[in-house]
Amino acid sequence: MNYEDLGYAKVDHHRAKRTGEGEVVYGESKTPEQILGIASALANKGAKNILVTRLSQDKADILAKTLNIPFEYHASARIMVVLPDDSTPKYGKVVVACGGTSDIGVCEEAAITAETLGSHVERLYDVGVAGLHRLLHNLDVLEGANCVIAVAGMEGALASVIGGLADCPVVGVPTSVGYGASFGGLAALLAMLNSCASGVSVVNIDNGFGAGFIANRINRNAKSGI
Amino acid sequence: MNYEDLGYAKVDHHRAKRTGEGEVVYGESKTPEQILGIASALANKGAKNILVTRLSQDKADILAKTLNIPFEYHASARIMVVLPDDSTPKYGKVVVACGGTSDIGVCEEAAITAETLGSHVERLYDVGVAGLHRLLHNLDVLEGANCVIAVAGMEGALASVIGGLADCPVVGVPTSVGYGASFGGLAALLAMLNSCASGVSVVNIDNGFGAGFIANRINRNAKSGI
Amino acid sequence: MNYEDLGYAKVDHHRAKRTGEGEVVYGESKTPEQILGIASALANKGAKNILVTRLSQDKADILAKTLNIPFEYHASARIMVVLPDDSTPKYGKVVVACGGTSDIGVCEEAAITAETLGSHVERLYDVGVAGLHRLLHNLDVLEGANCVIAVAGMEGALASVIGGLADCPVVGVPTSVGYGASFGGLAALLAMLNSCASGVSVVNIDNGFGAGFIANRINRNAKSGI
Amino acid sequence: MNYEDLGYAKVDHHRAKRTGEGEVVYGESKTPEQILGIASALANKGAKNILVTRLSQDKADILAKTLNIPFEYHASARIMVVLPDDSTPKYGKVVVACGGTSDIGVCEEAAITAETLGSHVERLYDVGVAGLHRLLHNLDVLEGANCVIAVAGMEGALASVIGGLADCPVVGVPTSVGYGASFGGLAALLAMLNSCASGVSVVNIDNGFGAGFIANRINRNAKSGI
Amino acid sequence: MNYEDLGYAKVDHHRAKRTGEGEVVYGESKTPEQILGIASALANKGAKNILVTRLSQDKADILAKTLNIPFEYHASARIMVVLPDDSTPKYGKVVVACGGTSDIGVCEEAAITAETLGSHVERLYDVGVAGLHRLLHNLDVLEGANCVIAVAGMEGALASVIGGLADCPVVGVPTSVGYGASFGGLAALLAMLNSCASGVSVVNIDNGFGAGFIANRINRNAKSGI
Amino acid sequence: MNYEDLGYAKVDHHRAKRTGEGEVVYGESKTPEQILGIASALANKGAKNILVTRLSQDKADILAKTLNIPFEYHASARIMVVLPDDSTPKYGKVVVACGGTSDIGVCEEAAITAETLGSHVERLYDVGVAGLHRLLHNLDVLEGANCVIAVAGMEGALASVIGGLADCPVVGVPTSVGYGASFGGLAALLAMLNSCASGVSVVNIDNGFGAGFIANRINRNAKSGI
Amino acid sequence: MNYEDLGYAKVDHHRAKRTGEGEVVYGESKTPEQILGIASALANKGAKNILVTRLSQDKADILAKTLNIPFEYHASARIMVVLPDDSTPKYGKVVVACGGTSDIGVCEEAAITAETLGSHVERLYDVGVAGLHRLLHNLDVLEGANCVIAVAGMEGALASVIGGLADCPVVGVPTSVGYGASFGGLAALLAMLNSCASGVSVVNIDNGFGAGFIANRINRNAKSGI
Amino acid sequence: MNYEDLGYAKVDHHRAKRTGEGEVVYGESKTPEQILGIASALANKGAKNILVTRLSQDKADILAKTLNIPFEYHASARIMVVLPDDSTPKYGKVVVACGGTSDIGVCEEAAITAETLGSHVERLYDVGVAGLHRLLHNLDVLEGANCVIAVAGMEGALASVIGGLADCPVVGVPTSVGYGASFGGLAALLAMLNSCASGVSVVNIDNGFGAGFIANRINRNAKSGI
């Protein structure tokens, strides 16, 4: 049996073999006790770089007191990495770009995810389309990337603009930054789904983790990857 | 009494005095007979350049047979101008830009409206953000404009990009060009309402007429106007 | 290079040259430290009248302790003006009108923005359509305006009514005032987008800043402007 | 048993006794055969002024050939009245007002309904808020009314404006007249539901029948009614 | 001039003459100071029974300390009546019915409004359709009513059921009682708008005040009214 | 291998064993050729009573010419049964009830489905809540049922009313009957999902088939079933 | 008279006779006093196993102090059972399955409801489709079930997957677990309503109670039931 | 100047250099004349394998008569390839999978796009989750893929299920197959965006082209690619 039954969770020890990445713990609506239990079960089976996402500072503080194995907590990304292991060199290149300062939390979630999974990541922040020269001045950052993650709230135009400039897949991450008719990120989401540039696919609103995960899959398998 | 009662319509002869433009006939859901009646009433009071908007080719053909005063029909704009009068020179400068070939009908509605009301109009078509150099190559067209109308469907990013480049008011017109999650132009509408560039206001989906009308108001009152 | 890279922000020093207004700091989701850094960078380059919008009283209090250059905080507008400079006379005329007492915060955001950017502003508050005589009694306020900003929540009818009376562009600002089927301002937004009066364009829900910004652009370029 | 079972319908012969009006036949998705059957069943029980609503011209033509009892078809209202009986004088006063020519079909549905049920009706068409003086010039029509029906598409502001002027209940009927962000009448519906005037209640989009029915109930029971 | 300008408000002293009811103070987003100012201005002109709606207990407590004229506060209705005057006998009959215990707050808002404006009101609570016999057992309460207010959350079926039984106008009030796919009262709102019973009109979600206001208008003008 | 690969379809011959019912052919967007191929493959494996749903009269006519095995077409249900087999007696009792004549097509889809799968079905049509006595007069029909299917458009109140009366599971089927704010059946769908009666579950709008399928599952397994 | 009028509630003592289950107290928006009153009224009439749902820990603590009859509070299910009676053996089999740890609260609401009403329940938690082998490894749990309740948030795919495997009715419960484009459970709700598997019906978002109630109805009436 | 101005279009000859793929012609709302002009302009510059997407059979027939260079039309994919060039061998592996027969048109759009751009493509059709064994029986097809495109309508669960099994990026394509609460593909779109499996990104509803384009980008850059 390739999973472990904790009652409140069936930990999927088979996933690393099946898809290449270990199980990730979605921390949002789990108690610190549940997270501790699942992370420990994974660690006991030899997993490293265990990602716990959407973990608030509060829960992280509680966990920090009970976890007796090494971990790192990235506050702006709201990610804890249990048993972090940076010994192997990072491969390839993933770029994480965003429209504005307010999108940085989601960017960091994407960047830490991709880095923890093995990718080399470059950050390109605050290059929104209201001041296009800031992006155009940094086109060299896009060069050689195997995947670009475009993070933007409000009207989400950054994904389309980058999509028209890049020669690799672009993963758009709409964010909930905005107000009124942004409807919690819906405006940016719809914009990215309707991108007139052809190479853009989209993940859920504020889903930095998902974008980092996909970008790493593309990057680890790329010629210029590992 | 400053209106004329036709039963099915109360023709507003006072509007030109009140707002500076004569009454416009919204042709969409009126019968050719009703349009003929209203246009005739306006013409009888001395109006010129009477705009009949959203007039299909079919209705235009019927009207053409019964109207015994001069008119012009602009097919792609779906606008008829009754008693067209081009004798006065056009003033100022309005730019009508769009993202793609499919937006041209809405652009023409805006352009013909502004021209008929008195504005000098320049067209800048198919400069969508998927090929940004096409817009950047034409920045001189934007210079000196008193208003830019940015027409785009799909993700509507053009309004934001132009908004970040222009020094005059930008009127965004989302179009219903697109499919699926464009939801009939909703995606472009929300995008334009959430523009991260500050000088962008928005009109209804496919409302080229409204944009042309507003642009002319801005333009006719501008220093470099009449 | 015409921007300054602070890591969390790329401050656009080129914008004043490009569009005529300096960069504006959107304060909503930035930390006081980030706002301080960006405002300082702008001040160091000689900017004046630096607008910080959507700044809560709490953040303003924190900033007040660390900012060592002059500033003004407008509480109901939630705007801080850093290095305020009122030495030049205001030009033209912008009218800010609203339907009810509850809309005044958004009105002030629009008015302070336009005033700070250089416009002469007149306020016309609580003239909602439920007591039409209050507006009709003040029609002289609308005369001579280069732009009217119509602010209204609930059903947003004020924009249409003013649109039928004014001879200049009207910028509608739907507000989130209301409950139930107002859906956070959606009702007023849709109403204004569908205005039967022709001269109305619209900005995002509660976006007083955007309306003030656009009104100033129209006003500064108007014949009766500077 | 106070209903009659036709298999495809259980005709409610008890309704006139219970609510004061006989059963009404909703013609939209019924076949001419079904309509004929139901109308005949009602006629056989002595009903008069049988309303068949939402009856297209096509179906009306088919019915006309098979009905062997008197009827009238009102094309713009899409209503057929079977066994029409105008012998009793109309009571009270109901006003049906609308914003524009395109709303007249819905108005007529309301007016014919109220008239058939017994009310005296006055029509006030094309008094939309884009030309407010047309309504203000006709305020005397509103006087003495027991109910005003306000019919409007697009932004639906007419209901609020009349609501602020009338001293009797106002029933708002949003119409599907419009395009784009009118979303089939949703904009007008939300506007009327959020009316800042206190005396306005609302029926479904394009539901002229419902408004006429309610207005007649209010009117027949009013002091100045029958 | 028939209004009084307080700066933040233009108090409509003309409304009682125009529509028969004095101005009502919508307390939701006004400060206690603003409410005090407006109520005082109305009182100074001789108004009585001044309604202040959507007034939280907190604000009411603050107001209670500064108001030096008589008032009553109805907590579950969240209504304050300033200068209450019960000297004249109530007229006619209005019924306020609801589906469940959770709807009582909205019911009381309707009932207190109608009573304060002059109507005799009867309450019929917790007669939801899940136990139909509770309504059927109380049909006599509906008899002789000039208007029934049907208040319901969740699926809002009560309005339709009462609509099929009553012989007077029914005003439906959808409430935000529910969760999940009730979407804050949208489900009940749509249900009431689509009622298969003909005599039902609808007001905004949780708008007990509006329903009470309309019901009183119908009731005061009814034969069996004043 | 327990499926058959036709290229355009992988016919699931295992389903009867797995779930107790054979594969059903969803005819909506399949060509007659594809339907013929799948139905033939099923027939070749010995299946009987093969359901082809959402089959228009047009496609049925084409199929009728090429099918060389027995079939029945139920026009109002838009269902074809290939190799119909009525030899075994029907078990238990399922009631299919609806609000109005316009819902009968969806009812028949449910009824034919349940009958073809083996259930005894009783129909109770046009018992909508606008004339409640029609339902109350037929309460005996509900007695002894193992499942009631409640089909209704507009406000969908029938499901709640029956849910409050029945002692067996009620499956609600919202229909797209209605207009305006029915939004294609959304109003009825939301109403049924929010039913205040506890025993109601819901299927997709107009999904008579699904309701009939579920009802048969409940019925065939019931004590008073087979 | 088969109900008891407490003023704020009309307690339905007739329901057990009519539908087989006693009245259930929906605790969400009732005060502890109201709940106490209703529960006591039911207890006084001899009811046992009285369900109080959606009761927060806070209210439960208050109630615990005033209730002087036996009760149990199930914290994760937010259910209180007043006068619990476990003396009769549980019948049949209901399975409650969920996609992830975060759905367990809703599962428990369903499970406790069904158990309290008399059903034997088996739990199968954290078998979401991202690790399909966890479900496939437990197919034996589904065998012999008279009803399966499938609880899932996010994309809600579990209902379809189980629907394709089970031979009994499946009741889907979408949960509000998720973020962004989950829109409070809307994504899962729509997914379950559109299930390509035929035996799935759906209840409201997070409505564990409703699912447990329906499952018990199916189960108690099944051959392998009581 | 790296684009060619045709008036109605600015053909982007620079795109192949910038992003690696030539400009694609979106045929949906262009006239045959416009398509001919753009395709000819591209051909004149030496482009091959020119994709014209969303081209109806009707337009294709018209184009066929005027195009005097080789082309292929793929009817179910609605794609025309102008100057098709199959001389170079296909690289890597892309899998296109779908839930049902009705999704095949969208699948073919994806497959033809990826093939024309250079990818080796394998098709896996009709493996929807209602019969899970059909997918599980074909897991070997997924092995070695550099990208899997998962196409599904209705509840779109296929993307999540494949996402939990594959070790490469999965691009989800929701389709508009379904009815009622599928809301034109919205249900499947939301489901895929909320996938509980981590490697899934999403494109617009029915956007087979976009998915094929992205898959080819991933595939051509993969180790096992060209």
Where b means 16+ CB within 10 Å and e means fewer, G181-216 reads bbbbbbbbbbbbbbbbbbbbbbbbbbbbbbbbbbbb
- Please write the tens of the pLDDT for every residue from E142-194: 999 999 999 999 999 999 999 999 999 999 999 999 999 999 999 999 999 99
**Whether residue A116 sits in one domain with residue A12:** no
Quick one: DSSP state of residue E58? H
**Whether residue C178 sits in one domain with residue C146:** yes
Q: Given pLDDT bands bounded at 50, 70 and 90, which one contains residue E104?
A: very high
Residue % of chain E over a pLDDT of 70: 99
**Whether residue E23 sits in one domain with residue E105:** no
CA distance C171 to chain B (A): 8
Residue ranges with strand state E in C127-181? 147-152, 170-174
Question: Is any Cβ of chain F less than 8 angstroms from the Cβ of D31?
Answer: no
**Those residues with Cβ within 8 angstroms of residue G223's Cβ, 6 or more apart along the chain or in another chain:** F221, F222, F223, F225
Mean pLDDT of the region H187-197: 97
Report the residue from H102, H127, H134 with minimal CB separation from F29.
Answer: H102
Domain edge (last residue) among F82, F109, F126: F82
Q: What pLDDT score was predicted for residue F15?
A: 86
Q: What pLDDT score was predicted for residue E1?
A: 63
DSSP, collapsed to helix, strand or coil, labels residue C171 as strand
The answer to whether residues F203 and F172 touch, using CB atoms and an 8 Å cutoff, is yes
Tell me the β-bridge partners of G11: G4
Mean pLDDT of the region B133-139: 95
- Please write the tens of the pLDDT for every residue from G6-27: 999 999 898 888 888 888 999 9
Provide the token pair at C82: 């850093």
Low-confidence stretches of chain D (pLDDT < 50) are: none
DSSP, collapsed to helix, strand or coil, labels residue G16 as helix
**Neighbour subunits, H (≥3 Cβ pairs < 8 A):** A, B, F, G
Q: How far apart are CA E115 and CA H93, in angstroms?
A: 76
Q: How far apart are CA C83 and CA C43, in angstroms?
A: 8
At residue E136, does pLDDT exceed 90?
yes
Q: What pLDDT score was predicted for residue B19?
A: 85
Compute the CA torsion angle A63, A68, A69, A72 (nearest 10 deg): 30
Tell me the β-bridge partners of F201: F171
Q: Cβ contact (<8 Å) for D160 and C187? A: no
Question: Is any Cβ of chain B less than 8 angstroms from the Cβ of D75?
Answer: no
Report the residue from H128, H186, H192 with minimal CB separation from G155.
Answer: H192
Q: Cβ contact (<8 Å) for B206 and D133? A: no
Interface C-D, measured as beta-carbon pairs within 8 A, has a size of: 115
Question: Of D3, D195, D218, D220, which to mutate for an interface test with E (greatest number of E Cβ within 10 Å)?
Answer: D218
**Whether residue F32 sits in one domain with residue F109:** no
Mean pLDDT of the region C163-177: 97
Q: Cβ contact (<8 Å) for C185 and A180? A: yes
**Whether residue D133 sits in one domain with residue D103:** yes
Q: What pLDDT score was predicted for residue D88?
A: 85
Say how many C-beta atoms besides its own lie within 10 A of residue B17's C-beta.
10
Parallel, antiparallel or unpaired: strands B71-74 and B79-82: antiparallel
Q: Cβ contact (<8 Å) for G30 and E102? A: yes
Burial, B217: exposed, middle or buried (Cβ in 10 Å; 0-12, 13-18, 19+)? buried
Provide the token pair at H106: 């969208």
Domain edge (last residue) among G82, G112, G128: G82
Taken in order A73, A77, A79, A83, the sign of the CA dihedral is negative
**Whether residue G97 sits in one domain with residue G47:** no
Domain that holds residue C70: 3-82
The answer to whether residues H121 and H85 touch, using CB atoms and an 8 Å cutoff, is no
Question: Is any Cβ of chain B less than 8 angstroms from the Cβ of A98?
Answer: no
Nearest-CA neighbor of H72 among H64, H80, H62?
H80
Report the residue from H100, H130, H179 with minimal CB separation from F206.
Answer: H179
Nearest-CA neighbor of H10 among B131, B178, B150, A194?
B131
* Cα→Cα distances D96→D127, D139, D212, E25, Å: 11, 13, 9, 30
Domain edge (last residue) among E56, E82, E108: E82
Q: What pLDDT score was predicted for residue B15?
A: 85
Q: What pLDDT score was predicted for residue D5?
A: 93
- Please write the tens of the pLDDT for every residue from G148-195: 999 999 999 999 999 999 999 999 999 999 999 999 999 999 999 999
Among A96-105, B217-226, C134-143, F161-170, where is mean pLDDT lowest?
B217-226
Report the residue from D130, D179, D181 with minimal CB separation from B189.
Answer: D181
F64 phi, psi to nearest 5 deg: -55, -30
Question: Is any Cβ of chain C less than 8 angstroms from the Cβ of D178?
Answer: yes
Say how many C-beta atoms besides its own lie within 10 A of residue E64's C-beta.
12
CA distance C139 to chain A (A): 30
Residue found under tokens 């105008």: D86
**Those residues with Cβ within 8 angstroms of residue B222's Cβ, 6 or more apart along the chain or in another chain:** B92, B146, C221, C222, C223
Among D14-23, E214-223, G98-107, where is mean pLDDT lowest?
D14-23
Report the residue from E19, E194, E210 with minimal CB separation from D204.
Answer: E194
Q: How far apart are CA H217 and CA H131, in angstroms?
A: 32
Q: What pLDDT score was predicted for residue B225?
A: 60
CA distance D144 to chain F (A): 31
Residue found under tokens 């009905």: D67
Q: How far apart are CA C118 and CA C121, in angstroms?
A: 9
Question: Is any Cβ of chain D less than 8 angstroms from the Cβ of C1?
Answer: no
Q: Given pLDDT bands bounded at 50, 70 and 90, which one contains residue H22?
A: confident
Q: Taking CB atoms and an 8 Å cutoff, what residues of chain H touch F8?
A: 101, 104, 125-126
CATH of the domain at H118: 3.40.50.1970
Q: How far apart are CA H142 and CA H166, in angstroms?
A: 7
Q: How many domains is chain A partitioned into structurally? A: 2
Q: What pLDDT score was predicted for residue A2?
A: 84
Question: Is any Cβ of chain B less than 8 angstroms from the Cβ of A101?
Answer: no
Q: How far apart are CA C66 and CA C51, in angstroms?
A: 17
Q: What pLDDT score was predicted for residue G222?
A: 95
Provide the token pair at E138: 């109380």
CA distance G112 to chain E (A): 20
Q: How far apart are CA G219 and CA G114, in angstroms?
A: 9
At residue G224, does pLDDT exceed 80?
no
Q: What pLDDT score was predicted for residue E225?
A: 60
Q: How far apart are CA F176 and CA F171, in angstroms?
A: 16
Q: What pLDDT score was predicted for residue A121?
A: 98
DSSP, collapsed to helix, strand or coil, labels residue H99 as coil
Q: Cβ contact (<8 Å) for H14 and B133? A: yes
**DSSP secondary structure of F173-199:** EE-----GGGGGGHHHHHHHHT-SSTT
- Please write the tens of the pLDDT for every residue from C64-88: 999 989 999 999 999 999 999 988 8
- Please write the tens of the pLDDT for every residue from C92-113: 999 999 999 999 999 999 999 9
Question: Of F98, F127, F129, F200, which to mutate for an interface test with E (greatest number of E Cβ within 10 Å)?
Answer: F129
At residue C144, does pLDDT exceed 80?
yes
Provide the token pair at B201: 């206001």
Nearest-CA neighbor of D153 among B189, C205, C191?
C191
Q: What pLDDT score was predicted for residue G143?
A: 95
- Please write the tens of the pLDDT for every residue from A15-69: 888 888 888 999 998 999 999 999 999 999 999 999 999 999 999 999 999 999 9
**Whether residue B116 sits in one domain with residue B218:** yes
Q: How far apart are CA E204 and CA C181, in angstroms?
A: 6
Nearest-CA neighbor of G171 among G114, G105, G90?
G114
Q: Taking CB atoms and an 8 Å cutoff, what residues of chain D touch E222?
A: 221-223
CA distance F10 to chain H (A): 6
**DSSP secondary structure of F81-127:** EES----SPPEEEEEEEESSGGGHHHHHHHHHHHHHHTEEEEEE-S-
Tell me how far the alpha carbon of residue H149 is from its chain's centroid.
9
Chains D and C: 3 or more CB pairs within 8 Å of each other: yes
Taken in order H74, H77, H81, H86, the sign of the CA dihedral is negative
Q: Cβ contact (<8 Å) for E179 and G34? A: no
Gyration radius from chain C CA atoms:
18
Tell me the β-bridge partners of E91: E119
- Please write the tens of the pLDDT for every residue from H37-54: 999 999 999 999 999 999
Among C105-119, E99-113, G16-30, H145-159, where is mean pLDDT lowest?
G16-30
Q: What pLDDT score was predicted for residue B138?
A: 96
CA distance A119 to chain B (A): 28
- Please write the tens of the pLDDT for every residue from E58-93: 999 999 999 989 999 999 999 999 999 988 899 999
**Whether residue A95 sits in one domain with residue A77:** no
What is the number of helices (H) and of strands (E) in chain E? 9, 11
Q: What pLDDT score was predicted for residue H226?
A: 56
The answer to whether residues B160 and B170 touch, using CB atoms and an 8 Å cutoff, is no
Q: Given pLDDT bands bounded at 50, 70 and 90, which one contains residue G225?
A: low
G213: left (phi over 0), alpha (psi -120 to 50) or beta: alpha
Q: Cβ contact (<8 Å) for G102 and A28? A: yes
Question: Of G54, G192, G204, which to mutate for an interface test with E (greatest number of E Cβ within 10 Å)?
Answer: G204
DSSP, collapsed to helix, strand or coil, labels residue C195 as coil
Q: What pLDDT score was predicted for residue E14?
A: 86
The answer to whether residues D142 and D166 touch, using CB atoms and an 8 Å cutoff, is yes
Q: How far apart are CA A143 and CA A124, in angstroms?
A: 13
Q: Cβ contact (<8 Å) for A199 and H217? A: yes
Higher pLDDT, residue G111 or E225: G111
The answer to whether residues H117 and H110 touch, using CB atoms and an 8 Å cutoff, is no
Q: Which chain A residue's Cα is nearest to G135?
A: A10
**Whether residue D60 sits in one domain with residue D130:** no
Report the residue from F100, F104, F133 with minimal CB separation from D2.
Answer: F133
**Whether residue E136 sits in one domain with residue E31:** no
Parallel, antiparallel or unpaired: strands C71-74 and C50-53: unpaired
**Neighbour subunits, F (≥3 Cβ pairs < 8 A):** D, E, G, H
Model pTM score: 0.96
Q: What pLDDT score was predicted for residue F1?
A: 63
Q: How far apart are CA F86 and CA F104, in angstroms?
A: 23
Q: How far apart are CA D201 and CA C193, in angstroms?
A: 23
**Whether residue C112 sits in one domain with residue C25:** no
Q: Cβ contact (<8 Å) for D223 and E218? A: no
At residue C178, does pLDDT exceed 90?
yes
Report the residue from H164, H183, H188 with minimal CB separation from G130.
Answer: H164
At residue G226, does pLDDT exceed 60?
no
Mean pLDDT of the region F111-115: 98
The answer to whether residues A192 and A156 touch, using CB atoms and an 8 Å cutoff, is yes
Quick one: DSSP state of residue D152? E
Q: Cβ contact (<8 Å) for D179 and B205? A: yes
**Whether residue C187 sits in one domain with residue C96:** yes
At residue B84, does pLDDT exceed 70?
yes
Q: How far apart are CA A192 and CA A172, in angstroms?
A: 6
